[in-house]
Amino acid sequence: MKKTHRKIIWLGTKEVLLTMFDLSLPFFYAEKSYRRRVLNYQRWRESDKIKTKRSIKYLIQKGYIDSFVENKQVYIELTPKGVMYLSNQSLKDLTIAKQSLWDGKWRLVVFDIPEKLRFERNVLRRKLYDFGFYKIQKSVYVFPYNCTKEIKYICERLNIHEYVLVAISELIQNEEGIIAHFIENKIIPISGLKK
């Protein structure tokens, strides 16, 4: 793998900044009011090193990062599994705003994601359930509100956009049961239905 293609984080950067701060500490020792803060900082700095080492070891064991030495410097690089984990974490807080009035249109998400991308497919499926989508068929899900932007974001993060289709429909066969599902799960408020 070429160096320009690696996602590298240099461990020394944080250490350099913290060392610079350490060097400035003697200027604060003269004042008694700063001594307590300095001692607290030094304790935190020691515990921070331990936590950082523990975190790095854990991430290597999970397969999210690899460490290597190059030119006498220690580097950490994200593995493909780590990139996928970060993508998944970035999706956790993603939500779809629910409107007070439903426009009567259905948003369908249809996908045919190959088996080699099973992890990505499962992340998408899990996120659709988190949003409140209703499963019509194996890879066909429906939602009453606009979700194109959110689905596009997920597909870009997971690199599966070529396998996912979003469509808008005004009619779905047997939609009464689907409407009842969304009302029951408080996704469509009863007051939000058109008369």
Of 35-49, 54-68, 121-135, least confident by mean pLDDT is 35-49
**Is the pLDDT at 70 greater than 70, yes or no?**
yes
| Neighbouring C-beta atoms of residue 138, cutoff 10 Å | 9
* For residue 90, pLDDT beyond 70: yes
- For the cut 80, the answer to whether the pLDDT of residue 33 exceeds it is no
- Identify which has the larger pLDDT, 15 or 160: 160
Find the mean pLDDT for residues 17-46.
58
CB of 65 within 8 A of CB of 59?
yes
Give the three-state DSSP class for 141.
Answer: strand
Domain ranges for the chain, please list them.
3-78, 96-188
The residue-averaged pLDDT of 88-117 equals: 87
Q: Give the single-character DSSP code of 100.
A: S
Please write the tens of the pLDDT for every residue from 2-12: 444 444 444 44
Residue 134 to residues 101, 102, 120, Cα–Cα distance (Å) = 19, 16, 19
Query: Which tens digits make up the pLDDT trace of 49-58?
Result: 777 778 778 8
Tell me: pLDDT of 44 over 80: no
Instruction: Please determine, looking at this structure, whether the domain spanning 96-188 carries the CATH number 3.30.70.240.
Output: yes
139 band by pLDDT with thresholds 50, 70 and 90: very high
Tens digit of pLDDT for each residue in 175-192? 899 999 998 988 887 776
22 annotated ligand-binding residue: no
Least confident of 5-19, 45-59, 68-82, 126-140: 5-19
- pLDDT computed for residue 69 by the predictor: 83
Per 3-state DSSP, the chain is made up of helix, strand and coil in percentages (nearest 5) of 55, 20, 25
β-bridge mates for residue 134, sequence order: 142
Give the pLDDT of residue 117.
92
123 or 87, which is more confident: 123
Which pLDDT belongs to residue 46? 72
Residue 2: the pLDDT is 44
